[in-house]
A and B are shown apart, each in its own frame.
Chain A
Amino acid sequence: MPSRDEIFEKVKAALVDALGVDEDEVSPTATMVGDLGAESIDFLDIVFRLEKAFGIKIPRGELFPEDVLSSTEYVADGRLNAAGLAALKARMPFADLSKFEANPSVQNFANTLTVEDMVRYVQSKVGG
């Protein structure tokens, strides 16, 4: 079972390759979109690279829940409602959503996910 540090190093390598960022930019607290400049297409690329690096399968929407964030059932006036937040939490138990809950605007979600969330997600998949 890989250690947290081993997972972090492989996640870092995947992000460096996918996003063209420098290694020292990929800190645990760096946000995927705000700090590392990830765009939606990059998340698909990152999924490919994490699957390969760790030998895991990542179902669509699990790492980046674009379907929840674009659902008319969950979003009104650009903000996620209570049901949407519950759906997001159920989908992403690995992510720290406390800051996002304070201001659950869809636009704000982009700056919620961090590198550490990616690491925790992989940990949940490999049982590390």
Chain B
Amino acid sequence: MRWFWIDRFEEFVRGKYATAVKNVSLAEEHMHDHFPGVALMPNSLIVEGMAQAAGLLVAEAIDYNRRVVLAKVSGAEFYFDAVPGDTLKFHAEILDLKPAGSLTSVKATVGDEVQGAAEIFFAHLEPGEGVPKLFEPEELLRWLDQMHIYDVGRDEAGQPLTRPDW
């Protein structure tokens, strides 16, 4: 089992912003006991979805050359529960990006309503800086394909993103 908390990207502009979709379903196992009769998606998992959307945006912007690790979540706020049948959209934006780290802002929406928001800070680590290898290249590429990054992704000039040939 893999830890997927976004289903795919709808838009993806290199180094700037992206929107990812997460369809909330009662078929997800964690819903069965959280809570019986009143299933809702835990906001902690929504933070994970936000971080996956923003983290892939950051990782692509630095050509996957460093390990992008969720380091801090600041000021996360949630306004209502996401429940089965909802389509969450994570709108991620890069506020600042440097070799050592990046600051992103992510807003979650359901329809026109803002469900939650957070500032998410990533550390960019070199191999050997205490973090094991996160993905094999072919495994990462399968995930990126599954996320439709190279279907919807555009670079700064509006041209389609180039899929890596790992």
Contacts and interface: CB of A to CB of B under 8 A. Distances in A.
A120 to B, nearest CB: 23
Contacts of B103: 45, 48
Range, interface on chain B:
10 to 19
B121 A45 contact: yes
Given A48-B101, A48-B103, A41 B96 contact: no
Contacts of B121: 41, 44-45, 48
Contacts of B99: 60
A17 B75 contact: yes
B159 interface: no
Interface in A4-47: 17-18, 20, 41-42, 44-45
Nearest to A20: B74
A41 B72 contact: yes
B74 A48 contact: no
**For the complex of A and B, 4 pairs with smallest distance between CB atoms:** A41-B71, A44-B101, A48-B103, A48-B96
9 contacts: A20-B74, A41-B71, A41-B121, A44-B121, A45-B101, A48-B98, A48-B101, A48-B103, A51-B96
A60 B96 CA distance: 15
B96 A18 contact: no
Contacts of B75: 17
Contacts of A60: 99-100
Most chain B CB within a 10 A radius of its CB, from A17, A41, A52: A41
B39 interface: no
Main SS of chain A's interface residues?
A: helix
Interface of B: 71-72, 74-75, 96, 98-101, 103, 121, 123
Contacts of B101: 41, 44-45, 48
B36 to A, nearest CB: 34
A119 to B, nearest CB: 22
Contacts of B96: 48, 51-52
A105 to B, nearest CB: 22
B15 to A, nearest CB: 16
Nearest to A52: B96
A117 B74 CA distance: 24
A17 B100 contact: no
Interface string A62-73: 000000000000
A121 B99 CA distance: 22
Nearest to A51: B96
B120 to A, nearest CB: 11
Nearest to B99: A60
